[in-house]
Amino acid sequence: MKDNEQLNRLINNYDAMKIKPVLTLGKIIAAGALFIGLIVACGQNQQKKNQLVVQETPENHWVNLFNGINLEGWELKLDGGESEDGSIPFIVEDGMIVSTAELGAPNGYLSTIKDYSNFILEWEVKIDTTLNSGVQIRGQVWGKDTTTTYLSGNGETQQGTWEAGTVWGYQIEVDPSHRRWSGGLYEPRNRGWIVDLVDNKEAGKAFDRTGWNRMKVEVNNTHIKTWVNGVLAVDTNDDVLKTGFIGLQYHKVYNETQDHKKVYWRRIRIMEL
């Protein structure tokens, strides 16, 4: 009897020894599969996160320069200091910046208080066809009376003398005339036309002379590009200016047909590079 009990114990122990390795191997396989699954899942999650960053980062970098309520962050720079009556030719109206032409008012700019160097700037503008305007980038102010040679719109080289306090710098033109040079690169009070649109009729035609226009400039070191309603207008390099303010131009008017006409600005935003 005792011999039978000992035999049974030996058999049970032997069976247990066979089963145990099998169970251990199964657990190892299961654990390995779980580990691989976790790695794959983590990789997929990280990939999704990376895709999310790629999609959202550009939008997160945009900053509105105009809050739609007031002119906080902006200041007025007028050639010669101030207008005759001390008035400001820019107001906020219905979520837009509006400038109204007045005979006798000097040239000037509604300028950012902050300077910018490398950036993408976008804005929407609508302008009366009798007026002219533009957006100054890397803007400067002459510290003393200065004489320069400039290229005028008719292709002639001329000389001009600019008083201390006069604004100059790169300017993206807003030109609703039949010449259609909106998006061209101009430098008022210094070199004049840098890139006109004589050889870019497609960009010239892209500007809606009576409606809203979406304009864009990208400036990165010496490289300058502009677009008018998605059409490339300028792609050039220039190394004269490195940084400066952004300004909305108030262009002086000379006749009664321009008096009280308006320029409207909205959705002005910037992404620094």
pLDDT at 61: 92
pTM value? 0.77
User: Which residue among 61, 88, 103 closes a domain?
Assistant: 61
What average pLDDT does range 72-90 have in this prediction?
75
Shared-domain flag, residues 94 and 156: yes
Shared-domain flag, residues 33 and 96: no
Cross-strand partners of 125: 213, 265
Lowest-confidence region among 6-10, 36-40, 52-56, 121-125: 52-56
Cβ neighbour number for residue 205 with a 10 Å cutoff: 13
Shared-domain flag, residues 10 and 128: no
User: Which residue among 61, 80, 102 closes a domain?
Assistant: 61
Asked if residue 163 lies in contact with residue 142, where contact means CB atoms within 8 angstroms, the answer is yes
Name the residue with tokens 């950036």: 119
Shared-domain flag, residues 129 and 214: yes
**pLDDT per residue over 144-165, tens digit each?**
999 999 999 999 999 999 999 9
Shared-domain flag, residues 37 and 170: no
User: Which residue among 44, 61, 78 closes a domain?
Assistant: 61
Shared-domain flag, residues 53 and 150: no
**pLDDT per residue over 32-43, tens digit each?**
554 455 444 545
CATH at 217: 2.60.120.560
Shared-domain flag, residues 87 and 168: yes
Q: How far is CA 268 from CA 216, 239, 246, in A?
A: 10, 25, 11
Residue 241 has pLDDT above 90, yes or no: yes
Cross-strand partners of 99: 90, 263
Residues of the domain holding 80: 65-272
Residue 52 has pLDDT above 60, yes or no: no
Shared-domain flag, residues 98 and 211: yes
